Structure 1
Amino acid sequence: MNVQDMISTLVIGGGIGGLSLARELAVRGLPVTVLEKAPQLNPVGAGIIMNPNAMRVLERNGLAEAVRLDSWPYLVRETCDSRGRSLAMRDYRPLYEAGKLSVGALVHRAHLLDVLYRSLPPAAVRFNVGVRSIDVLSDRVRAETGRGEVFEADLLVGADGIHSQVRSRLFGEIRPRYMGYRSHRLIVDNEAGVRHFTEFLGRGQRIGLVPISAARLYVWTTFNSPQAQPPVFDSVSRFRDAFRQFTDARIARVFSQLRSMDGVISTDIEEMALDEWTRGRAALLGDAVHPMTPNIGQGAGMAMEDAAVLAQEIYSGGPDALIRYARRRKPRVETVVRISREVGTDGQRSSPVGCWLRNRRIRREGRNAEKMQADLERLLA
């Protein structure tokens, strides 16, 4: 690509997807500006599962080593019942050793964001910039900020999350679909000595314990909840009581560390599917176009894959670069979103018989290591 042909891109949103796209464009020598409304990097979300497909993106763009410096290797995922009895072990190590998958990592979201941000050219990210208006013109795109600044570029990418302003501008107001359950996320000291990703399945609830370093543990919950009547967790005792069906000592050790609900993040689990990802010189990426349930830890992975493919197509040039991006990504994303939804539906079963049958099936399927690893390779390669 000649210097005079270099395509400039304006990215709205400085989360994982937006910073990943900036990195992918920067390593290709393409100019990019990211506008982020927050005053600084925002690590909301506590921990993050960097599955092998996400780490493969980082290996290709040169950031995998930096991310792994402060992380925990994702070697095994164990599924237990509510009492802590093991149902199945998903062992990734044979796939790593055979070179079929990149080694996954369990990290703090703040660390991942910091690595992405520090990899970018100076002044590529503008913080504390709220966008007031967006214009997608025939020959350029234009964004005006709340302070009256104007930014122009050849292309515009909305990477501004599930409540995307860019999406609303392009396609009108589209509400995500509530999936029937909510989630908590928090970080605690790893006093329980958890050494690998461990999830516990209950009736209408799940708990995950994810080491993100030798000393720190990412904890998540999911719980069935009517959309119009969110439960009130205004005290630690009420929080502990809500999950009293889980009797494993590791969970008790984790919950015993809580002194207040400060720092416990609660979110609705939502999903959305758009037929159109692009319009003219604008495109959407990550949660702005395909917010998904967190059940298989692929939200960040899908955004990072989006970023890599979109940067490839922009670099390749041509008037249909954004259309090619959407055409390449949609089948893959639709498959992953569906699998994640199905895992969540299964995990949130609440009837005694349904949960017993689910646990029995998981235990039976866990004995077939060959099939389990083949399924993992298809999803994560």
Structure 2
Amino acid sequence: MSKVIIVGGGIGGLTAAAAFHQQGWDVEVLEQAPEIAEVGAGISLWSNALRALDVIGLGAQARDRARAEASAGIRESKGGWLSRADVAAIRDTYGLPILLHRADLLDLLRAAVPESALRPGISVREARSDGTVVHSAGSSTADLIVGADGLRSVVRRAVCGEIAPRYAGYTAWRVLVTPTAPIGDLAETWGRGERFGYAALADGRVYCYATANLPEGTRTDGRAELRRRFGRWHDPIPGLLAAADDDAVLQHDIYALPPLKTYVAERIALVGDAAHAMTPNLGQGACQAIEDAIVLARVAKEDGDLTRYDRLRRPRTQMIVARSGRIGQVAQLSWPPVVAVRNAMLKLVPAAAQVKALGAVVDWTP
């Protein structure tokens, strides 16, 4: 029996674990955290990721736990629409994305992996191209190592050496809120160097996120900072912030990786953020990690040629990283005259053009 060591127990790592387990591989998942869990955030899964999950029989379960996104668009801070999505056309052309809690998705994936395969509390120190992983509990050896250990990947060093992530220029806050009144729409509001977005989950809670241009490493006081910045924006933003718990607000600076020259080296392959960490502007970070895992497992089953995995995944993911980065640059513009031009141009973009532009990202099948 072939063995795979997966470093990282997040969405990409557990998707890979489930896919390899279904193919009869001996699976070992090494996760640094004391338990495999996700907290405090929602996640969008577009049709490309749902088709990938269908391959391992989890797509229907994800859809059952989720809420299909309804009306959506971009507003300005007083509430006027800058852009409205043609939801019907997106649904008919590609299928609508779903929104669920990250923890719910992780639970689905974890249930598809044998408990004996999961090793939380293990810190990986080195990965070697011969299939050896040195970690806090000793070492493990496998036919294949999957680096699913995120932005600061240890495994990536064995493939590409030291690669420094690039700060995107803005920080992000995330929080789950129980609103006092139901929220139906999904909307993202663009200001000057600031954004606020919200979307309802299936259980009635609302996932909120916000961004602001700040120097790297700037720490803020969470909800108080959000209320100072966004408390006078259009409804329902003030009410959502009023309902937020101070302790529930998460803050993370936003980074992306520069393009890697390869995702593979001998017995090592990278997936997800370890290979192509991206800004969140297209909602594709987790989607691409899921795609990676499914394609890697299929390549391993068909011929084991990791260079083919690299050829299949690197051009697509790096295109999406670049596109997401460009959207973020436009969305975070802060000089008032340029913001005014941006907003005027957004109003002129036909809805049909927006739908067509999605194709390169979401019109993908395994």
Is 1:76 the counterpart of 2:71 in the alignment?
A: yes
Aligned partner of 1:274 among 260, 263, 266 = 260
Q: Residues 44 and 166 of structure 1: is their aligned pair in 2 closer, same or farther, counting only changes over 3 Å?
A: farther
- Residue 177 of structure 2 aligns with an amino acid whose one-letter code is V
Would you say the 8 A contact 2:262–2:314 is kept in 1?
A: no
Q: Residues 127 and 358 of structure 1: is their aligned pair in 2 closer, same or farther, counting only changes over 3 Å?
A: same
Aligned partner of 1:311 among 293, 297, 309 = 297
Q: Residues 42 and 123 of structure 1: is their aligned pair in 2 closer, same or farther, counting only changes over 3 Å?
A: same
Select between 127-136 and 328-337 the one with higher mean Cα deviation. Answer: 127-136
Select between 42-51 and 282-291 the one with higher mean Cα deviation. Answer: 42-51
Aligned partner of 1:224 among 190, 206, 213 = 213
Number of equivalenced pairs: 362
Would you say the 8 A contact 1:11–1:18 is kept in 2?
A: yes
Secondary structure, aligned partner of 1:249: coil
Is 1:181 the counterpart of 2:170 in the alignment?
A: yes
Secondary structure, aligned partner of 1:357: helix
Name the counterpart of 1:136: 129
Name the counterpart of 1:26: 21
CA–CA separation in structure 1 for the residues paired with 2:63 and 2:179: 19
Structure 1: give runs of 5+ residues left out of the alignment.
1-5
Secondary structure, aligned partner of 1:69: helix
CA–CA separation in structure 2 for the residues paired with 1:45 and 1:224: 22
Name the counterpart of 1:3: none
Would you say the 8 A contact 2:160–2:260 is kept in 1?
A: no
- Residue 88 of structure 2 aligns with an amino acid whose one-letter code is R
After TM superposition, the score normalised by the length of structure 2 is: 0.93
CA–CA separation in structure 2 for the residues paired with 1:11 and 1:271: 22
Mapping of 1:279-358 within 5 angstroms? 279-318=265-304, 321-358=305-342
Secondary structure, aligned partner of 2:25: coil
Name the counterpart of 2:34: 39
CA–CA separation in structure 2 for the residues paired with 1:40 and 1:275: 33
Q: How far 1:214 sits from its partner (Å)?
A: 4.4
Mapping of 1:44-193 within 5 angstroms? 44=39, 46-97=41-92, 100-137=93-130, 141-148=131-138, 150-193=139-182
Structure 2: give runs of 5+ residues left out of the alignment.
none
CA–CA separation in structure 2 for the residues paired with 1:235 and 1:74: 27
Would you say the 8 A contact 1:53–1:102 is kept in 2?
A: no
Secondary structure, aligned partner of 2:173: strand
1:192-246 per-residue CA deviation (whole Å, 9 max, x = no partner) reads 5321321000000000101122411110001001226x1x4226434311334x5
Residue identity over aligned pairs, in percent, reads: 35
Is 1:14 the counterpart of 2:9 in the alignment?
A: yes
Q: How far 1:252 sits from its partner (Å)?
A: 0.6
Would you say the 8 A contact 1:56–1:102 is kept in 2?
A: no
Would you say the 8 A contact 1:25–1:311 is kept in 2?
A: yes
Secondary structure, aligned partner of 1:163: coil
Secondary structure, aligned partner of 2:32: coil
Q: How far 1:60 sits from its partner (Å)?
A: 2.5
1:294-325 per-residue CA deviation (whole Å, 9 max, x = no partner) reads 0111000111111111111101124xx11110
Secondary structure, aligned partner of 1:227: coil
After TM superposition, the score normalised by the length of structure 1 is: 0.90
Aligned Cα root-mean-square deviation (Å): 1.8
Is 1:380 the counterpart of 2:362 in the alignment?
A: yes
CA–CA separation in structure 1 for the residues paired with 2:86 and 2:24: 39
CA–CA separation in structure 1 for the residues paired with 2:47 and 2:309: 22
Q: Residues 239 and 74 of structure 1: is their aligned pair in 2 closer, same or farther, counting only changes over 3 Å?
A: closer
1:82-120 per-residue CA deviation (whole Å, 9 max, x = no partner) reads 1111222213333434xx424421010000000000012
Select between 86-95 and 263-272 the one with higher mean Cα deviation. Answer: 86-95
Q: Residues 279 and 313 of structure 1: is their aligned pair in 2 closer, same or farther, counting only changes over 3 Å?
A: same
Q: How far 1:147 sits from its partner (Å)?
A: 2.6
Would you say the 8 A contact 2:40–2:176 is kept in 1?
A: no
CA–CA separation in structure 1 for the residues paired with 2:260 and 2:225: 38
Secondary structure, aligned partner of 2:94: coil
Would you say the 8 A contact 2:40–2:248 is kept in 1?
A: no
Is 1:234 the counterpart of 2:221 in the alignment?
A: yes
Q: Residues 154 and 196 of structure 1: is their aligned pair in 2 closer, same or farther, counting only changes over 3 Å?
A: same
Select between 329-338 and 186-195 the one with higher mean Cα deviation. Answer: 186-195
